[in-house]
Structure 1
Amino acid sequence: MNLAIKDQFKGLLNTGENAFKRLHEKGSYNPKDLQTEKAYQDLINQTYDVFNFAITDNGMPETMRTALQSDAFLFGGLKTHAQLFEASKLLLDDKGNLKPFAQLSNEFDKLNSTYNRNYLNAEYEFAVGSSQMAAKWNEFSDNDRYELQYRTAGDNRVRDEHAALNNITLPKSDPFWSSYTPPNGWNCRCTTVEVLKDKYEGDGYLKDSEKAIKKGEAATSQIGKDGKNRLEIFRFNPGADKVLFPPAYPYGKVAGAKAAEEALKKKIENPKPLETTADVSNYFSEFAKNNPEYFERGFKEIKLTSQKGVNGFTDMNGTIALKKDVLNSIKDGLNTIKRGEKTTFKQEEAFSTLHHEMWHNANKPGNVGLSKDGTKVMELANEFVARNTLGDFMKKLGGNLEHSELTTNRTNTSYNTMVRNYDQLIAFAKADKTKVLEDVKKGLIDKKYVEQMDVLANAIKKHSYYDIEEKTARGFIAATLKDKIKETDYNNLLEYNKKLFKAKGG
């Protein structure tokens, strides 16, 4: 267990203590309080954060991750309900009067330690194993050349019932895996691997489905004094069921759990909003795992800057700095997308700034010293690609580009006129803009920044309707770099030199 998660464990005990103090202040508990009381919501959210740490440590499709995260939030919420409900039964004395907090303090501490240390340790380890299996399940092939094989940790800590399942080898479609995919209990370290069907034959490998299911039943059977099977809850498949915890876990059976679940599901439908710079940075840390093409040298962080004269900047090594107003608009935009609402112009303008800086990080050669004009050429190429791929970026965030004018006229950047003039050049040359974009994008990623003039000019020359000399294209691009050239002046320049645009074969 690494230091980050250990710190979260310690913090959760403090949050649990605050929740119990708030419970005593109120003097009673109702499951609906989970929607309104900040101390309770903090306990839910921090419990979720612990389990989410296990989820995000594994690569998996967004749909799987979202499903597991929703399940983790529900589990954390019902766990919070269970401990608050149990604590609420201690509040009153025999006469119905509220006991002093000092009288309850020791009992509250015991409950806090039980739920938020002892139980949490086992639950976290289960979440780790469950999320790993969910990620693997998604990768397992449906090809009949392969089968799945149950494997234990192979040491003297393996319980006998699980050892009996070792080397069970069956097709992915076999009903055995619906109920007995690991983890099969608290602290279970077993796993399932994909193997070639023909490689594992003989007495050491059980391939009889009925016999395997009987062994699975035995491994998940422990009849209590009440006649109920205490281990039956572990008969599930995290990957196929898209859940982190067994659907029949005990917290869901506590009195008032249904009312708590209704309140929690409303929160799932409107998930925890991003509130801080760290929240935004963590969001894009996950985004980078699923979209590594944006960060050639890896993602590090998004942070605030107070530097004057910029909306943001990057070191091209995974760190992006943004002005406060830009970062706040990005945060608001992500929350808007989470709610399923349409993003505003201001939010999309801020996303445009971030997207521009992300494209700098996509460049493979890395940063080099550039002249003033060299910097302008590089920024022209970068902004041209960034604004023309903004719609795709918004979709990757889970939203849509509502303000398409940002792809042709982004006035919050000093590079706007340069890019609009390059757009004029594309149109005047009757070049295929889609193909020009494709070439410039490839060059932006693969070529050194000092080579971007070649990339921009060759893209025009190659995809123009006219036969344009490369030096002519370079000259027109160089003209876009002049600080005081207006769009009308640039258009006049093109018209004045239209004789340089010769029909191919003419």
Structure 2
Amino acid sequence: MKGLNKGLGVSFDDEESRKALKDAFTLNVEQFSYAKTLTQFNLFKDAVFNLKGQQRSFESIKKIVADTGEVFNKNYLSAEVKYVTQSSIMARKWHTMDAEYLQFSTVGDSAVRPEHRIFDKFTALKTDKIWLRLYTPLAWGCRCTIIPGIARNLSKEYDSDWANAMVDPLVKDTIFDNNAAVSKVIFNNKHPYFKATDQDKIKVPKEPKKETSINLSDYIKGDLPTDKEIKAILTKYAELFPEDFRRGLDDVKFIKSKSYMMQHSMYHNRLTGDWASGSTITLSKHEFSSIKFNPLEEFRNGLAAIKSGKKMTFNQEYSFESLWHEILHAKTKSAPKSLSSVGVKNMETINQFCARHTYPEFMKKLGGKAIHQKEILENGYGYKSWISDFRTTLKNLKIDEKQAVKDLMPFLMQDYSNIGSKVNAYLKENTK
């Protein structure tokens, strides 16, 4: 465990993430040790007889066991400890590197393997799947690393497809076809120990079971959650359900804004036209007096209600719908494009319509249950007249709302710029 502790270090921003990773790695290393022990036992057992089936002398058996122990407990063990340490270091780097792009980097000396040197300075987005395979260590004793990269080092010729083709013969069907930070496994089931041992006796490491909801009692220490605890809850949510934040959740803010209840924002690169950051979710702590609604405080009290098992008020539940509306903005793959006022209305209408129908799923992941959905569909605050008009249109055309959500959600998740034309076409095609 020394190699594991040394590798993970203490530089994690989120101690809970570090603990979860350490627990997963510890379990994996223990399972690896069991498999290694059983492999040794089988070798010792086979040493009792020679190839003709005759029992060997005690001295012959003793020598074989001693030689085998030397290999397992000195040579192999040294390599395994280094591998655990390096894998843990790279897992820590993955979680602490705040970079949009990553770059493969060798040590640069004469001992670098030629098959590793070809990847030196290779650069790709951190979200590129190539880093699930081209992530060090790539072999026993590999000293290569991953560092923050820059966009100008991207290459059309040496792109992720090229890297995938080149790394495949190096790591395919080996334990090195792995990113331990993502898989939460250091020794995967490609290791010979797991292949060679009795599978009925050894449990091959599996992906940790994905949590389906958050236990708020783990985060809220008092009756009401603090701002810091709310931020921790939403950060954990983004970690458990990364599909809801296409570029991750960078920050959660609390601002007294009169212009919005809650807001989602991301930065984009004006030169490339691409998104250049993760999501920021902002909750306003302004009291909207006309409706007696303070978004942050209603959400705070809603979380407390879930924790204590109490029923939510309309306003508390609506705060969850409002936040889910913003998370749908974080979830979409739409590129950063300027929309006309009509385009904004089309987009926000469909986003709000889908949010009001699907926010109970979001509440369930936080341990809550929606009880005011019918009222929120009819009297929710945001874009109220737009939603009312759209629902009336569906009703007049005899289009089922739940089916409309299923059909319209893909438009929302792909491209904001053409939602209006796609919705109009959908309405015409489904008019009864």
TM-score, scaled relative to structure 1: 0.44
Cα distance change on mapping 1:194 and 1:408 into 2, 3 Å = same
1:307 CA drift (Å): 2.6
CA contact (8 A) 2:317 2:370 kept: yes
CA contact (8 A) 2:299 2:320 kept: yes
Question: Match for 2:321: what amino acid?
Answer: S
1:379 aligns with 2:361: no
1:320 aligns with: 281
CA contact (8 A) 1:306 1:323 kept: yes
CA–CA separation in structure 2 for the residues paired with 1:445 and 1:136:
40
CA–CA separation in structure 2 for the residues paired with 1:136 and 1:343:
45
CA contact (8 A) 1:337 1:399 kept: yes
CA contact (8 A) 1:270 1:339 kept: no
1:430 CA drift (Å): 0.6
Cα distance change on mapping 1:426 and 1:384 into 2, 3 Å = same
1:370 aligns with 2:365: no
Q: Of residues 363, 370, 395 in structure 1, which corresponds to 2:364?
A: 395
CA contact (8 A) 1:443 1:455 kept: yes
Cα distance change on mapping 1:195 and 1:417 into 2, 3 Å = same
1:306 CA drift (Å): 2.3
1:6 CA drift (Å): 5.5
CA contact (8 A) 1:355 1:386 kept: yes
Question: Match for 2:24: what amino acid?
Answer: S
1:318 CA drift (Å): 0.7
1:315 CA drift (Å): 1.1
CA–CA separation in structure 2 for the residues paired with 1:6 and 1:441:
40
Deviations along 1:242-300, one digit per CA (max 9) or x if unpaired, are 9xxxxxxxxxxxxxxxxxxxxxxxx9799624633232122111111222232112111
Task: Spell out the pairing of 1:266-277 with structure 2 (5 A cutoff).
Answer: 272-273=221-222, 275-277=225-227
CA–CA separation in structure 1 for the residues paired with 2:313 and 2:219:
19
What's the secondary structure of 1:452's corresponding residue? helix
CA–CA separation in structure 2 for the residues paired with 1:269 and 1:364:
32
Question: Match for 2:78: what amino acid?
Answer: D
CA contact (8 A) 1:304 1:321 kept: yes
Aligned residues: 260
CA–CA separation in structure 1 for the residues paired with 2:296 and 2:249:
17
CA–CA separation in structure 2 for the residues paired with 1:381 and 1:348:
20
CA contact (8 A) 2:242 2:248 kept: yes
CA contact (8 A) 1:277 1:327 kept: no
CA contact (8 A) 2:324 2:359 kept: yes
What's the secondary structure of 2:302's corresponding residue? helix
Cα distance change on mapping 1:429 and 1:207 into 2, 3 Å = closer
1:255 aligns with: none
Cα distance change on mapping 1:192 and 1:340 into 2, 3 Å = farther
1:433 aligns with: 401
1:390 CA drift (Å): 1.5
CA contact (8 A) 1:380 1:419 kept: yes
CA contact (8 A) 2:350 2:408 kept: yes
2:311 aligns with: 342
Cα distance change on mapping 1:268 and 1:320 into 2, 3 Å = closer
CA–CA separation in structure 1 for the residues paired with 2:200 and 2:377:
61
Q: Of residues 416, 419, 425 in structure 2, which corresponds to 1:458?
A: 425
CA–CA separation in structure 2 for the residues paired with 1:320 and 1:301:
6
Cα distance change on mapping 1:150 and 1:382 into 2, 3 Å = farther
TM-score, scaled relative to structure 2: 0.51
1:3 CA drift (Å): 11
1:131 aligns with 2:24: yes
2:374 aligns with: 405
1:445 aligns with: 413
CA–CA separation in structure 2 for the residues paired with 1:4 and 1:326:
39
CA contact (8 A) 2:255 2:282 kept: yes
CA–CA separation in structure 2 for the residues paired with 1:410 and 1:200:
60
Task: Spell out the pairing of 1:60-139 with structure 2 (5 A cutoff).
Answer: 128=22, 130-133=23-26
1:194 aligns with: 189
CA–CA separation in structure 1 for the residues paired with 2:80 and 2:28:
25
1:464 CA drift (Å): 2.4
What's the secondary structure of 1:300's corresponding residue? strand
What's the secondary structure of 1:194's corresponding residue? coil
Q: Of residues 295, 298, 321 in structure 1, which corresponds to 2:248?
A: 298
Task: Spell out the pairing of 1:198-237 with structure 2 (5 A cutoff).
Answer: 200-201=195-196, 207=198
Cα distance change on mapping 1:133 and 1:5 into 2, 3 Å = closer
Which consecutive segments of 4 or more residues in structure 1 shift more than 6 A?
1-4, 196-199, 237-242, 267-270
1:328 CA drift (Å): 2.4
1:288 aligns with: 238
1:340 CA drift (Å): 2.8
Deviations along 1:151-203, one digit per CA (max 9) or x if unpaired, are 99832896xxxxxxxxxxxxxxxxxxxxxxxxxxxxxxx976424899844xx
2:35 aligns with: 149
What's the secondary structure of 2:281's corresponding residue? strand
CA contact (8 A) 2:250 2:279 kept: yes
Larger radius of gyration: 1
Cα distance change on mapping 1:336 and 1:4 into 2, 3 Å = farther
Deviations along 1:362-385, one digit per CA (max 9) or x if unpaired, are 120233211122211111111011
1:94 aligns with: none
1:418 aligns with: 386
Question: Match for 1:430: what amino acid?
Answer: K
CA–CA separation in structure 1 for the residues paired with 2:423 and 2:29:
43
1:343 CA drift (Å): 2.3
Question: Match for 1:453: what amino acid?
Answer: G
Task: Spell out the pairing of 1:44-59 with structure 2 (5 A cutoff).
Answer: 50=15, 52-56=16-20, 58=21
CA contact (8 A) 2:333 2:413 kept: yes
Question: Match for 1:402: what amino acid?
Answer: I
1:455 CA drift (Å): 2.6
CA–CA separation in structure 2 for the residues paired with 1:354 and 1:241:
28
Q: RMSD over aligned Cα, in angstroms?
A: 4.3
Identity in percent: 25
What's the secondary structure of 2:35's corresponding residue? strand
Question: Match for 1:442: what amino acid?
Answer: P
1:330 aligns with: 299
Gaps of 5+ in 1: 9-48, 59-127, 141-147, 159-189, 213-236, 243-266, 466-506
Deviations along 1:41-72, one digit per CA (max 9) or x if unpaired, are xxxxxxxx85x34344x4xxxxxxxxxxxxxx
CA–CA separation in structure 1 for the residues paired with 2:312 and 2:365:
14
CA–CA separation in structure 2 for the residues paired with 1:426 and 1:393:
25
Structure with the bigger percentage of helix: 1
Cα distance change on mapping 1:207 and 1:390 into 2, 3 Å = closer
